[in-house]
Amino acid sequence: MAEVKKIATRESYGATLAELSTEYPNLVVLDADLAGATKTASFKKVCPERFIDCGIAEGNMMGVAAGLAAAGMIPFASSFAMFAAGRAFVQVRNSIGYPHLNVKIGATHAGISVGEDGATHQCCEDIALMRSIPGMVVINPADDVEARAAVRAAAAVERIGMIAMIYVGETLLITPYDDLGFGSYKTNEGYLTSKKVVPSVAEYIADHHLSVDKIFVRSQDSVTLLRTRAILEQIPGIRVMSSAADNLEVITPAADKGTALGMLCRDIGTDLDHAAAIGDSENDFEMLRAVALPIAMGNASSEVKALCRWETDTNAEDGVAHAIDRILAHNKACDEQAENSGI
């Protein structure tokens, strides 16, 4: 029988932060005079220049963490659950949650397991308090393995600037925060009439036993998108692609535009050998490979242009309209030539 190792999750937390010190040069760890107990001392030992002891001032620590996040750092603010979620709640709510800043809060010593410290330290309200803050993600690992994975996931995923829409049939599920992000540029009628704003998309899907058709994520941070994509691509049974430099799309492997266009051609009585397609990004690859006349937008990626026979103007220059005009003019010229030849 394999040996069972009992490893406290706080040990896993500190050890993983120490490992991440070399992987993330902008990762900073903060503590409130409890580095020995929360095990952030492991990080301090290997990276003292990015460790900040804020003293017994948890509210101030959360404010410092918020400022660091606003400046582009990845702060992990650490303390006992009673102090991180309880004493510092106002700062977490207003300085971190409200502006959706990229702060990770490592709360240890939760629940009644902190026996010798007494009832004042036995926090049973921490998860409820944090879940009451819109946009806050709560992770409660069960053991060493989950704790290490959770810390790595928290470091890799930046919530700020990343917004998501979930496609369920004809409905777009979206949170109020994400709706604000998409609403700044998506004003078309389809988006406005099909969206359903809910407090928690995950809970809504679970409560209504829904099946997700597509997840669309947008961020201006290319590093965050790359890291998120790397994580998602490890999940079997899904396909990750992009339709622009600022987004990711998660779909079923069976879905692609080439297959859809082939179905459309059959429905209207033609085939892909008599079809043209215009594309500009990764999610157009299958469609462009499938048709007789693949056309690249002027703003298309180099990979798309390599697949195509010719290039039209950019989106801003009405490239699709110009491509259609060129095709129609070519067809008209062919018809006139055939007519003049008596064919």
Burial 244-279 (b: 16+ CB within 10 A, else e): eeebbbbbeeeebbbeebbeebeeeeeebeebbbbb
What distance lies between CA 2 and its chain's CA centroid? 38
How would you classify residue 55: left for phi > 0, otherwise alpha for psi between -120 and 50, otherwise beta? left
The reply to whether 325 and 230 lie within a common domain is no
CATH of the domain at 220: 3.30.1240.10
The reply to whether 89 and 168 lie within a common domain is no
Which of 194, 220, 251 represents a domain boundary (last residue)?
Answer: 251
Task: Give per-residue pLDDT as tens, 61-101.
Answer: 999 999 998 888 899 999 999 999 999 999 999 999 988 88
The reply to whether 207 and 278 lie within a common domain is no
What local confidence, expressed as pLDDT, does residue 322 receive?
A: 95
Residue 92 falls inside a structural domain = yes
- Quote the crossing angle between the two packed helices 222-232 and 144-156, to the nearest 10°: 150
CB atoms under 10 Å from CB of 53, counted, come to: 15
For 246, list phi and psi in degrees, rounded to 5.
-105, 15
Which of 138, 156, 174 represents a domain boundary (last residue)?
Answer: 156
CB atoms under 10 Å from CB of 87, counted, come to: 19
Rounded to an integer, the average pLDDT of 190-201 is 78
The reply to whether 181 and 203 lie within a common domain is yes
Which of 133, 156, 179 represents a domain boundary (last residue)?
Answer: 156
Task: Give per-residue pLDDT as tens, 280-337.
Answer: 999 999 999 999 999 999 999 899 999 999 999 999 999 999 999 999 998 888 888 8
The reply to whether 143 and 194 lie within a common domain is no
What local confidence, expressed as pLDDT, does residue 2 receive?
A: 66
Residue 314: domain span:
257-340
Contact 157, 228 (CB under 8 A): yes
Residue 128 falls inside a structural domain = yes
Residue listed under structure tokens 């036993």: 209
Q: For residue 197, is pLDDT > 60? A: yes
What local confidence, expressed as pLDDT, does residue 98 receive?
A: 86
Number of domains in the chain: 3
Q: What is the DSSP letter of 48?
A: G
Cα 256 from Cα 301, distance rounded (Å): 18
Cα 235 from Cα 229, distance rounded (Å): 10
Active site members: 58
The reply to whether 226 and 242 lie within a common domain is yes
pLDDT above 70 coverage of the chain, percent: 93
Q: Strand runs (DSSP E) across the chain, as ranges? A: 27-31, 51-53, 74-80, 104-108, 163-168, 171-174, 195-197, 214-218, 239-241, 247-251, 276-279, 293-296, 310-311
Instruction: Enter the pTM of the model.
Output: 0.52
Cα 330 from Cα 321, distance rounded (Å): 14
Cα 81 from Cα 88, distance rounded (Å): 10
Does residue 25 or residue 92 have the better pLDDT?
Answer: 92
Burial 222-232 (b: 16+ CB within 10 A, else e): eebbebbeeee
What local confidence, expressed as pLDDT, does residue 94 receive?
A: 94
Which helix H or strand E contains 235, and what residues bound it? none
Helix (H, G, I), strand (E, B) or coil at 53: strand
Q: Which two tokens stand for residue 261?
A: 């266009």
Residue 132 falls inside a structural domain = yes
Q: pLDDT band for position 169 (50/70/90)? A: confident
